[in-house]
Structure 1
């Protein structure tokens, strides 16, 4: 259960002759997750290790809102990632690497400013196998589509509309802040989300200029397309997906396409997810998934199975397995967050505990 810290109400200017009270509250929240993982092939050798953030990313944060009256509210969020297995920050140079934003919300929707994930992650990411089946290994090779939230827009401004019969639209821009060249380093994203009872649909777009490959470098290196220091002229992502709940089942499907422009070449990556989660009794959920990824002649098929057992409303015990087979021009399997195999097959199994607060 999240801890709520309620600030004392502050007296504000009188409105129409009456004294208005501005009520504030701040929520402290977080997630810790660690498990013992077996990787069948990592650079030609099997290994056993403790992995963090497999079921959910390790993070802590603060979320707050102040009622300013007349339907207007001030909002903020600070969220940072860390590794439970070592205690280290995910990004040593940023305390709140995942989110740091402040803004206003009201009948018009909301406007927020700061460091934020793009709309592909926010809308389409919730329909991916990695999110729906609670397994970080299931995000796509290289995470070029940012569904694992490993890349945020800095110096960003975002507008989100109010819900219109279940439809919400958003647009954002991350300022490049380069004097004399407004497009250099600029990031843009837009999307729409529709939620109506058991149905959820999403369509989202994102374009990043002059982004370093970073996290995707290992994956690109296996294909001879770059390394961590490679800088993309642009990375454009389109994503569309849907989810539906029926009885004890939760179904999801997602398609993403990434176009990467390099100084001397370009390439496309296409990913398709199909997933199902079966809550077969009040305490257990069985997760099943399949992902197909293609980049040129390189192909990757991934199969996953897992079971989450609810120890309480905040704690879970889980067992998961993800297997990837590479084919075509792909010489090495490489599942998200594992490192490259020395060959075309890779299996990762994990037994762990997740706790949220």
Structure 2
């Protein structure tokens, strides 16, 4: 017992300098742990019983904070990595970078915020703001159709950009501008990624509009060298119900692939919980292929056990016009720290 207590005391003493630094510079450790059990199936696929990571939110951990430099100027930084809670593996998939969610440092002041490094995609964040399931790439009809590989990933490119220069403007009259640029860093090539999102939020109303051009990263090949995407969305909180809607268009060069995605959703608060309903339809066509559509609808209930912990039950219906339907059911738990 004594050696164990001595080792614990030594570890605590070693942590004291780190704790002092954290207090001085505003360093914090944070994250979300989310896992669910159920049956999963997309349209045209085969159902399987699963215990899976990241139902309502992809599980992740982060170390971040700020340092006050004086006269309203401060340093901001973050290192955020994804963890697959069902297996204990790091990353969203094998060989994903350790800090695939975010890894940046920057400056913030009256001029806004500038970040350099790996930064979340502004269009991904905008689409999460205008649907009732927010960042869920498992259950949100909008997010699955735009960003999830099992649903076809209508939007090319990653949810976070490496080698990025990011700018968020000050909010004036409820209006905020977010811009991001990432050179492809390919020798002899001028390929790059660029995105801009305009956000207007006053009282219960939120409006977003933005676009991006992707020429480097996931999904970009010589056969599909560029994709342009445009998104507009709205959220309005009536207290008794919160309404959501959005419309997305994109086009991929050479392949002629075009998708148009419409989405509607709502949240209804009920005591310590909330009901969530959402539907999205994507229409897609391209060179030498007939048009087809995908309908995805989700009904769920999310109940808060505390400020940090909630449990949820979700049903997802997915149907391609060219294939049989697929149904997903899930019971999960999420904890924020």
Same fold (TM over 0.5): yes
Among 272, 280, 283, the residue aligned to 1:291: 280
Deviation at 1:284, TM superposition (A): 1.4
Q: Are the counterparts in 2 of residues 191 and 205 from structure 1 also a CA contact under 8 Å?
A: yes
Q: Whole-Å Cα distance in 2 between the matches of residues 101 and 136 of structure 1?
A: 29
Q: Whole-Å Cα distance in 1 between the matches of residues 268 and 256 of structure 2?
A: 40
Task: List aligned pairs for 1:189-338, cutoff 5 A.
Answer: 189-213=195-219, 232-262=224-254, 265-281=255-271, 283-296=272-285, 297-327=291-321, 331-332=322-323
Deviation at 1:347, TM superposition (A): 0.6
Q: TM-score if structure 2 supplies the norm length?
A: 0.84
Q: Whole-Å Cα distance in 1 between the matches of residues 333 and 137 of structure 2?
A: 12
* Residue deviations 1:230-279 (CA, integer Å, cap 9, x gap): 863012111110101112311111111121124xx211111111110100
Q: Are the counterparts in 1 of residues 140 and 298 from structure 2 also a CA contact under 8 Å?
A: no
Kindly indicate which of the two structures has a greater share of residues assigned to strand.
1
Q: Are the counterparts in 1 of residues 281 and 296 from structure 2 also a CA contact under 8 Å?
A: yes
Among 21, 24, 29, the residue aligned to 1:7: 21
CA 1:64–1:117 in structure 2 vs 1: closer, same or farther (change >3 Å)? same
Task: Give the count of matched residue pairs.
Answer: 306
Deviation at 1:135, TM superposition (A): 5.2
Deviation at 1:123, TM superposition (A): 2.4
Deviation at 1:143, TM superposition (A): 2.9
Which of structure 1's runs of 4+ aligned residues deviate more than 4 A? 40-44, 132-135
Q: Whole-Å Cα distance in 1 between the matches of residues 60 and 22 of structure 2?
A: 28
Among 131, 145, 159, the residue aligned to 1:151: 159
Q: TM-score if structure 1 supplies the norm length?
A: 0.79
Among 170, 178, 192, the residue aligned to 1:170: 178
Number of the residue aligned with 1:349:
329
Task: List aligned pairs for 1:22-37, cutoff 5 A.
Answer: 23-37=24-38
Q: Whole-Å Cα distance in 1 between the matches of residues 137 and 19 of structure 2?
A: 29
* Residue deviations 1:270-300 (CA, integer Å, cap 9, x gap): 111111010022x110111111111021111
Q: Are the counterparts in 1 of residues 45 and 326 from structure 2 also a CA contact under 8 Å?
A: no
Number of the residue aligned with 1:14:
none
Deviation at 1:40, TM superposition (A): 5.2
Q: Whole-Å Cα distance in 1 between the matches of residues 246 and 127 of structure 2?
A: 7
Q: Are the counterparts in 2 of residues 248 and 280 from structure 1 also a CA contact under 8 Å?
A: no
Q: Which runs of 5+ in 1 are unaligned?
A: 10-22, 215-228, 333-343
Kindly indicate which of the two structures has a greater share of residues assigned to helix.
2
RMSD: 2.4
Deviation at 1:313, TM superposition (A): 0.8
Q: Are the counterparts in 2 of residues 118 and 206 from structure 1 also a CA contact under 8 Å?
A: no
Number of the residue aligned with 1:180:
188
Q: Are the counterparts in 2 of residues 41 and 47 from structure 1 also a CA contact under 8 Å?
A: no
Deviation at 1:77, TM superposition (A): 1.2
Q: Partner of 2:294: helix, strand, or coil?
A: strand
Q: Whole-Å Cα distance in 2 between the matches of residues 8 and 317 of structure 1?
A: 32
